[in-house]
Structure 1
Amino acid sequence: MRLKALLGILLTILVVASLAFKPATAQQSEKVKVIVMIDRDSFDEKAVKGLGGQIKIRYKLIPAVVIEIPENAIEKLKSVRGVKKVELDKVAYAYPGNGVGRPPWYTPTQPPQVIPWGIDRINAPDVWSITTGASNGVIEVAVLDTGVDWDHPDLAANIAWEVSTIGGVVSTDPADWYDGNGHGTHVIGTIAALNNDIGVVGVAPKVEIYAIKVLDDRGSGTYSDIMLGIEQALLGPDGVLDADGDGIIVGDPDDDAAEVISMSLGGPVDDTALHDMIITAYNYGVVIVAASGNEAADQPSYPAIYPEVIAVGATNSTDGIAWFSNLQPEVSAPGVDILSTYPNDDYETLSGTSMATPHVSGVIALIQAAYYNKYGTVLPVGTFDDMTTNTIRGILHVTADDLGDPGWDIYYGYGIVRADLAVQAALG
């Protein structure tokens, strides 16, 4: 009897204990990241903490923060004083090619230089007697991607700054921004591989590059990290938006903001805060270029679809539209079987609108460098409808090879970009 009584007591204790733990488990909620547009003057941070939230990123250039918060507290967060809009953080991806890479212990022998077919197709070599993208450090292209192999012998001289924003943390530690994927190094090579006797050559072989890692080594990244990458492109290595206080950051030798932002990435979903950050960059005069996407969809992905962004479609070596290229780009460029630089001092052939995008970014760098070297300033960005030579977008439109229906069409946009005609138009 005593044994039975003792067993009964133990069983009761176990049942009570298990019941005691169940409510705590049930009350737990998975934490998620949200991008929150705020009124900085009235935003109640204490209320956020009271909901179990933590601010992970504070943007400097737009009134927004990123908050990690229990999922079941999001509705309450929307009611916190100073909160204007709450959106779940989203994921964007590099548009992958078909490269296979090589093992890390492989040490390639540098091959003799070739001019990739895409560089030749847009007639970039015809411009190099006029401009190579060099501008005494004024014109920089920020590549938001998977990082860079910074000491690649065909790139190293043009890499001016490396930084990572992965996880909402701004870091210049090489362990954080090194390209463990290959996508970013490939994109950068198409823009700025050196004109030497090895490997390949880029569209603008002497332009300075900001390698900003916003995508991890799997090729994916959050919208919030991309926003932080755009902000870093504007602030530059010194972290100051407008060092001389003249209200001009693009084409200003006293500031180190990027003149071009190149994004060979995209996602399927709109986001107010991401768009606001892009509008901020656009309003400062930064030319923003993005891949239209590889889904064979009837419109570009985000952020390429935003009106402030130049969406780029991909073509093949016979000027046909690549089967995967999303429709309704603004312009097109070579994006199939593109040879470029790759990590571990190597080279790789990839395809995608990711590969088309840097051709356009490189052409813009050539235009701005040539214009700055002649006039001491840069051209304004312009709009989708521009058809004059007074803006970057207008120049791209009127000088492109118009291969579809006359004017803009859903397949080629305004056509395949031409570096030679674009630079000539910019210089009058």
Structure 2
Amino acid sequence: MIDKNSFDEKAVQGLGGQIKIRYKLIPAVVIEIPENAIEKLKSVKGVKKIELDKIAYAYPGNGRGRPPWYTPTQPSQVIPWGIDRINAPDVWNITTGASNGVIEVAVLDTGVDWDHPDLAANIAWGVSTIGGVVSTDPADWYDGNGHGTHVIGTIAALNNDIGVVGVAPNVEIYAIKVLDDRGSGTYSDIMLGIEQALLGPDGVLDADGDGIIVGDPDDDAAEVISMSLGGSVDDTALHDMIITAYNYGVVIVAAAGNEAADQPSYPAIYPEVIAVGATNSTDGVAWFSNLQPEVAAPGVDILSTYPDDSYETLSGTSMATPHVSGVVALIQAAYYNKYGTVLPVGTFDDLTTDTVRGILHVTADDLGDTGWDIYYGYGIVRADLAVQAAIG
């Protein structure tokens, strides 16, 4: 973290350091510097705090140990059990997530197979931040892992009579590659991905100058950030970037983690983030799901899209998270299509991040102890009840 007004970049260079990332939305930079110079870096003018970069991972999608479902001839469409469990099909007569370019979900993951026939029409934009380099070259944000394509399919697979269908089959997706093809990435690259989600394709925050970012038809910031990833270590700079997105009105959803731990991992544990736990087809909490989620969603044996025009069944809180992100998109799209701008500043009826979270809480299927509990949080999300609560 730095003071932008007094930061002495030349002093950093004198220590053999090189600035790799300059964030636009928070006072922070990423510096590559010899290890023996770190102590001296602390005394450089304008340096407020130093943290070592950390690694996050895509939560493993524990498949059934079989090859992906390849499709030399396209199969008839099926509705995955998780989509059905949260009653998403009951909402599609009201909204499918379409909003004339107003509602976008940014998925920070391993990228996407942008040519997949069940996804291509909904991929509005893609960008990679791997290695601290922002690149919109489609080759750079292609998914060579499979995890990101699977997650995006659960949110937004098309209702097109082939393969599968997602929670919000007409929502626009920003595919932001922050994890490499091994499924790992640095916190600094994830922070850059969050920043890209806020800046959008035009690279400008609040392009029309009216102060409204989220849900403004004239701005292209993402309304939802979905992260099926996590790490085990806290980080001030990562948290600051998440706070920035939250303060701009973005709903941030993240996987609670697959370690069967007693609390969510980072960034899901941050109070600005909706932490998602995983359940199975009998509504039991998945054995691997970290405790103390905010809500839960289907995350075991989830069928979704996979690279090379295929499909795969995976398990994990990674698979639960996009169910919730999709429901949030349905809430926002339904609200926008009925009332207009999602975040009309200064009115009592703002569909703010906290309002969306409250809707998820009160409309969830409350399993376990009454109210919030450490296993289900507030319960398994319900798309039908959530959308009805949003639009009245």
> What TM-score, normalized by structure 2, do the two folds share?
0.96
Q: 1:387 aligns with which of 348, 351, 372?
A: 351
Higher relative contact order, chain-length normalized (CA < 8 Å, sep 6+): 2
Between the aligned partners of 2:346 and 2:360, the Cα distance in structure 1 is 10
What SS is found at the alignment partner of 1:177? coil
- CA contact under 8 A between 1:77 and 1:83: conserved in structure 2? yes
Structure 1 residues 363-402: Cα deviation after superposition (integer angstroms, max 9, x where no partner): 0000000000111122699999999998100000000000
Query: What is the Cα deviation at residue 96 of structure 1?
Result: 1.1
The CA RMSD over aligned residues, in Å, is 2.7
Query: CA separation of 1:420/1:140 partners in 2, compared to 1, >3 Å: closer, same or farther?
Result: same
1:194 paired with 2:180, answer no
Between the aligned partners of 1:410 and 1:382, the Cα distance in structure 2 is 35
- CA contact under 8 A between 2:68 and 2:311: conserved in structure 1? no
- CA contact under 8 A between 2:64 and 2:314: conserved in structure 1? no
- CA contact under 8 A between 2:82 and 2:302: conserved in structure 1? yes
Between the aligned partners of 1:42 and 1:295, the Cα distance in structure 2 is 42
Query: CA separation of 1:196/1:338 partners in 2, compared to 1, >3 Å: closer, same or farther?
Result: same
Between the aligned partners of 1:113 and 1:192, the Cα distance in structure 2 is 14
In our comparison, the structure showing a higher alpha carbon Rg is 1
Structure 1 residues 334-373: Cα deviation after superposition (integer angstroms, max 9, x where no partner): 0000000000000000000000000000000000000001
Structure 1 residues 82-126: Cα deviation after superposition (integer angstroms, max 9, x where no partner): 000000000000001134899999763321100000000000000
- CA contact under 8 A between 2:111 and 2:176: conserved in structure 1? yes
Q: Structure 1 stretches of 5 or more lacking a match?
A: 1-36
In the alignment, which residue of structure 2 is the partner of 1:351? 315
> What TM-score, normalized by structure 1, do the two folds share?
0.88
Query: CA separation of 1:380/1:396 partners in 2, compared to 1, >3 Å: closer, same or farther?
Result: farther
- CA contact under 8 A between 1:317 and 1:334: conserved in structure 2? yes
What SS is found at the alignment partner of 1:86? coil
What SS is found at the alignment partner of 1:176? coil
Q: Structure 2 stretches of 5 or more lacking a match?
A: none
1:232 paired with 2:229, answer no
- CA contact under 8 A between 2:7 and 2:47: conserved in structure 1? yes
Structure 1 residues 32-54: Cα deviation after superposition (integer angstroms, max 9, x where no partner): xxxxx000000000110011000
Between the aligned partners of 1:368 and 1:104, the Cα distance in structure 2 is 33
1:88 paired with 2:52, answer yes
What SS is found at the alignment partner of 2:49? strand
- CA contact under 8 A between 1:380 and 1:392: conserved in structure 2? no
- CA contact under 8 A between 2:229 and 2:318: conserved in structure 1? yes
Query: What is the Cα deviation at residue 248 of structure 1?
Result: 1.0
Query: CA separation of 1:57/1:295 partners in 2, compared to 1, >3 Å: closer, same or farther?
Result: same
Between the aligned partners of 2:291 and 2:137, the Cα distance in structure 1 is 39
What SS is found at the alignment partner of 1:85? coil
Query: CA separation of 1:269/1:390 partners in 2, compared to 1, >3 Å: closer, same or farther?
Result: closer
Between the aligned partners of 2:43 and 2:64, the Cα distance in structure 1 is 49
Between the aligned partners of 1:402 and 1:66, the Cα distance in structure 2 is 43
Query: CA separation of 1:355/1:134 partners in 2, compared to 1, >3 Å: closer, same or farther?
Result: same
Query: CA separation of 1:305/1:355 partners in 2, compared to 1, >3 Å: closer, same or farther?
Result: same
What SS is found at the alignment partner of 2:321? helix
Q: How many pairs were matched up?
A: 392
- CA contact under 8 A between 1:382 and 1:391: conserved in structure 2? no
- CA contact under 8 A between 1:51 and 1:77: conserved in structure 2? yes
Between the aligned partners of 2:223 and 2:292, the Cα distance in structure 1 is 25
Query: CA separation of 1:219/1:125 partners in 2, compared to 1, >3 Å: closer, same or farther?
Result: same
The residue correspondences of 1:236-247 to structure 2 (distance < 5 A) are: 236-247=200-211
